[in-house]
């Protein structure tokens, strides 16, 4: 199963894609969060043969909601309607710090953060 991982942000979204087996996540691209973002992600998902989308849950480590929670949940709902794909929420706690440590040179951190979120999800699936 092939997954698309998303690190949601007000200005930018980081995207990562798994391999076909759904075992390894790779940073893909950072996209501006503009009025065309849903269409651009839907196109990418179709081109890449994505089976499901994993979006970072913006809640605090404690589980408390923050200013981005409602916005990212609305985005996830709209993306599900646009793509017809299953949307899975996964914790993004500490993903920024981890991505900074492991991001390849030249890869913007939003995409690296999406890869961290997606990789954690894949590892929890045990695939």
Provide the pairing of β-strand 52-57 with 25-32: unpaired
Dihedral, CA of residue 107, residue 91, residue 87 and residue 42, to nearest 10? -20
Contacts made by residues 98-103, CB under 8 angstroms, sequence distance 24+: 103/27
Q: Which domains does the chain have, with CATH numbers?
A: 3-125 (3.30.420.140)
| Sheet bearing 25-32, strands edge to edge | 25-32, 12-18, 3-7, 52-57, 86-91
**Mean pLDDT split into 10-residue runs, the chain, 127 residues:** 96 96 95 97 98 86 70 94 96 56 62 93 84
pLDDT in tens, 88-101: 998 765 555 555 55
DSSP-assigned states of every residue in 57-103 = E-S-TTS---TTHHHHHHHHHHHHHHH--EEEEEE-TTHHHHHHHHP
The whole-model pTM stands at 0.84
The CA distance from 109 to 43, in Å, is 22
Mean pLDDT of all residues in the chain? 87
């Amino acid at each position: 199963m092939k997954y698309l991982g998303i690190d949601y942000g007000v200005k930018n979204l980081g995207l990562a894609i798994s391999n076909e087996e759904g075992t390894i996540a790779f940073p893909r691209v950072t996209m501006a969060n503009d009025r065309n973002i849903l269409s651009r992600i839907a196109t990418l998902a179709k081109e890449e043969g994505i089976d499901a989308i994993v979006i970072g849950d913006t809640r605090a480590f404690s589980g408390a909601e923050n200013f981005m929670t409602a916005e990212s949940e609305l985005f996830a709902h709209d993306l599900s309607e646009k793509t017809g794909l299953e949307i899975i929420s996964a914790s993004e706690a500490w993903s920024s710090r981890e991505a900074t440590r492991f991001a390849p040179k030249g890869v913007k951190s939003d995409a690296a953060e999406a890869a961290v979120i997606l990789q954690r999800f894949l590892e929890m699936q045990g695939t």
